[in-house]
Amino acid sequence: MLKLEVSYRGILLIGLLLLALWAVKELWPVILLVLVSVILMLGLLPYVDAMVRRGIPRGVSVLVLLVLLLAVLIGLFSVMVPAMVEEFGDVRDNLPESAREIEELLDKFGIEVELQDRARDIDWDHLVSGRAAFDFGQRVLTLTLSLITIIVITAYLLADTPRLGSFVSQFIPPNRKDDADHLFDSLTRVVGGYLRGQAITSISISVFTFVLLKIVGVPNALAFAVLAGFADVIPLIGALIATVPPVAAALQESSTQALVVLVCLIAYQQFEDRLLVPRVYGRTLNLPPVIVLIAVLAGAELLGVTGVLLALPLTAAGRVGLDYLIQNRQMLLGQEFGAGGGPDQAAEAANSEA
């Protein structure tokens, strides 16, 4: 027989834990927005502090930085979106002819498929109108509102960082404030490293895509390069997003060009996923390449796209906490055993552990 005895305090703690888990589940969309905002705040904070040290008021520094970022994003989207709409129209109009070219290309390799008839049977009016159009518009609106919310929260966090720091410091013991400052500085450094690493990989794939499409002769090379840079933020799904549109555009020119673009982009994706991403993030986040790869795969399995986006910064933050525990292990052991029997027992426990 197994007999369990739980005190009233234990029942209360279990109830509070279940209530907290339920609250996290219900408030997960809000928690996600706050997490993304905190990541952006930690990454942008050094630049705001640098402007403040130059004598620029904090509010003005935050405003200038966010306006510059928004201007860059709006400029990139203004280059990308009209070209993508134009390319979609061309793909839709020329899809039967493109399907015929694919059939001929596959036939050379002994693969027989019937794509041309299926391309003619596609009802584009049904796909891009009615319920599908409404769902797409709803998703775009939700994403836009989420982005606005993230920008606003990030702005408030950056502007009120000193005040928030003073508020949080009230709950930290005086002998732990130096450690808390060190942890915060480390988090700022690793999150900034994550953002710099993402900028490096996004710029790399954008340059590669632009040069490739220019050499092959695919129109709207700059727009596809910008799309690839944005898609690269999502390591797993981003590869598909960065590859399919330029291949479809190249197919409007010829099947040979489409094949060249497909092979080159797949080769680059393998190079980035296997070599560039682990090395860049491994250096900027101070994480081993294998940990970077495992973190991305685990995040994708647990939370999908959201997990991929949060995997690296959260893993890096966990490493900062682990480093702190390792560095202060002896002190923590001394406090724990010192309460029961003094420093001799603490030293003996540390030696036995070693």
262 shares its domain with 322: yes
Mean pLDDT (whole number) for 41-69:
89
Mean of the per-residue pLDDT values of the chain: 78
- pLDDT at 165 (0 to 100): 80
104 shares its domain with 151: yes
Domain end among 163, 196, 230:
163
Instruction: Put residue 2 in one of left, alpha, beta given phi > 0 → left and psi -120 to 50 → alpha.
Output: beta
185 shares its domain with 333: yes
211 shares its domain with 320: yes
For the chain, the 3-state helix, strand and coil shares in percent, each to the nearest 5, are: 85, 0, 15
331 shares its domain with 191: yes
Mean pLDDT (whole number) for 255-277:
85
Domain count, the chain: 2
Q: Is residue 220 part of a domain?
A: yes
Mean pLDDT (whole number) for 187-203:
81
189 shares its domain with 310: yes
Task: Give me the domain span that covers residue 279.
Answer: 178-338
- Residues 315 and 44: their CA atoms lie apart, in Å, by 19
Tokens 């390319």 found at = 87
148 shares its domain with 192: no
Q: What percent of the chain has pLDDT over 70?
A: 77
279-304 core/surface letters (b: 16 or more CB in 10 A; e: else): ebbbebbebebebbbebbeebbeeee
Assess whether pLDDT exceeds 60 at residue 227.
Answer: yes
User: What confidence tens digit (pLDDT) does each residue in 120-172 have?
Assistant: 666 666 655 656 666 767 777 887 888 889 889 999 999 888 888 888 787 77
Q: Is residue 44 part of a domain?
A: yes
146 shares its domain with 183: no
pTM of the model: 0.70
- Best CA proximity match to 265, nearest among 225, 308, 223: 225
Q: Is residue 351 part of a domain?
A: no
Q: Is residue 264 part of a domain?
A: yes
- pLDDT at 215 (0 to 100): 93
225 shares its domain with 152: no
| pLDDT interval class at 344 (50, 70, 90) | very low
- Residues 103 and 38: their CA atoms lie apart, in Å, by 50
Coil, strand, or helix at residue 313? Answer: helix
Mean pLDDT (whole number) for 213-220:
89
- Best CA proximity match to 188, nearest among 167, 204, 165: 165
- At 133, the amino acid letter reads A
- Best CA proximity match to 227, nearest among 88, 81, 91, 92: 81
Q: Is residue 7 part of a domain?
A: no
- pLDDT at 210 (0 to 100): 93
Q: How far is CA 230 from the centre of its chain?
A: 11
* Residues recorded for the chain: 354
- pLDDT at 264 (0 to 100): 93
267 shares its domain with 157: no
Assess whether pLDDT exceeds 80 at residue 202.
Answer: yes
Q: Is residue 95 part of a domain?
A: yes
Q: Is residue 354 part of a domain?
A: no
- Residues 248 and 246: their CA atoms lie apart, in Å, by 5
105 shares its domain with 197: no
Assess whether pLDDT exceeds 60 at residue 268.
Answer: yes
- pLDDT at 126 (0 to 100): 60
232 shares its domain with 91: no
